[in-house]
């Protein structure tokens, strides 16, 4: 009789332990999957003139990790690339695991004085590829200097928000938003630029990432919403 009672108590304890284990297993939060982003850009994205960890992509990755995001960012920045170059490689750059894309192109179009209409057509082509592959996009703008004339500047500056609205992407006004005010040239950011006056130094990149980070978080949130 005592043996039966002991066995019964042990069996009951085992069932309670198993139930508790299962309950804990159900209640435990599932680890979020890694978000895969592609940063399509030029030398600003690539990290020109900087050691690797000081570049835009590594600093952005670190910023996102510090804010609780598990993100892998593919650095698809190519020094000297124009919007045409970005268009020529976007399709094969968007490998199957890519969930979202940061597009930061146009600076070299400005340096070469290329027609804004051509830049617009190239950016539109990039967004069409992203749309066809169901990849969320953060479109990063670039502001033209005034030396090309008011019409050029107005046309160039307007293409980013207009394309963003047309394709339903997220929009960030300017890559240099974190270090210069609207109407100022990047070279005016004393102490935050490299000697060429075109590329930010490590501290400049840090401030750019700090300013842009929340917009990238919005991109991550969109990716997550698409997967639910």
The answer to whether residue 47 sits within a structural domain is yes
pLDDT of residue 226: 77
CATH code (residue 146): 3.40.50.1110
Residue 18 within a domain: no
Residue 27 has pLDDT above 50, yes or no: no
Catalytic residue chosen out of the listed positions 43, 119, 164, 174: 43
Question: Does residue 24 lie within any of the structural domains?
Answer: no
Residue 81, in any domain of the structure: yes
pLDDT band of 223, cuts 50, 70, 90? very high
Determine which one of 81, 109, 164, 199 is catalytic: 199
7 inside domain: no
- Which residues lie closer than 8 Å to 176 by C-beta, 6 or more apart? 143, 186, 189, 200, 208
Give, in order, the Cα–Cα distances in Å from 158 to each of 46, 134, 206: 25, 25, 27
Tokens of 178: 């974190």
Note the pLDDT tens digit of each residue in 166-199.
999 999 999 999 998 777 778 778 899 999 999 9
pLDDT at 1 over 80: no
Residue 32's pLDDT is 62
Is 196 one of the catalytic residues?
Answer: yes
Task: Please give the order of strands across the beta sheet that includes 71-77.
Answer: 71-77, 35-41, 100-104, 136-140, 170-172
Give the chain's domain count.
1
Q: Which residue has the higher pLDDT, 219 or 32?
A: 219
Is 9 inside a domain boundary? Answer: no
pTM: 0.84
Strand, helix or coil at 33?
Answer: coil
Q: Examine residue 149 and state whether it is found in any structural domain, yes or no.
A: yes
Asked, for residue 11, whether it belongs to a domain, the answer is no
Q: How far apart are CA 114 and CA 27, in angstroms?
A: 57
The domain in which residue 86 lies consists of 32-227
Which of the residues 4, 66, 151, 196 is marked catalytic? 196
């Amino acid at each position: 009789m005592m043996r039966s009672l002991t066995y019964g108590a042990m069996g009951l304890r085992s069932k309670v332990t198993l139930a508790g284990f299962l309950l804990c297993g159900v209640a435990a939060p599932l680890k979020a999957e890694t978000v895969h982003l592609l940063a399509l850009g030029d030398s600003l994205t690539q990290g020109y003139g900087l050691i690797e960890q000081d570049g835009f992509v590594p600093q952005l990755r670190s910023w996102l990790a510090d804010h609780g995001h598990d993100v892998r960012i593919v650095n698809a920045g190519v020094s000297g690339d124009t919007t045409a170059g970005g268009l020529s490689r976007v399709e094969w750059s968007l490998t199957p695991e890519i969930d979202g894309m940061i597009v930061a192109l146009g600076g070299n179009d400005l340096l070469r004085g290329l027609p804004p209409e051509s830049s617009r057509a190239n950016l539109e082509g990039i967004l069409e590829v992203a749309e066809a592959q169901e990849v969320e996009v953060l479109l990063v703008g670039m502001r033209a200097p005034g030396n090309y004339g008011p019409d050029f500047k107005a046309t160039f500056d307007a293409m980013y928000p207009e394309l963003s609205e047309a394709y339903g992407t997220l929009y960030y006004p300017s890559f240099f938003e974190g270090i210069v005010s609207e109407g100022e040239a990047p070279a005016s950011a004393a102490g935050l630029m490299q000697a060429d006056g075109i590329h930010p130094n490590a501290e400049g990149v840090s401030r750019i990432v700090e300013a842009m980070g929340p917009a990238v978080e919005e991109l991550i949130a969109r990716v997550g919403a698409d997967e639910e």
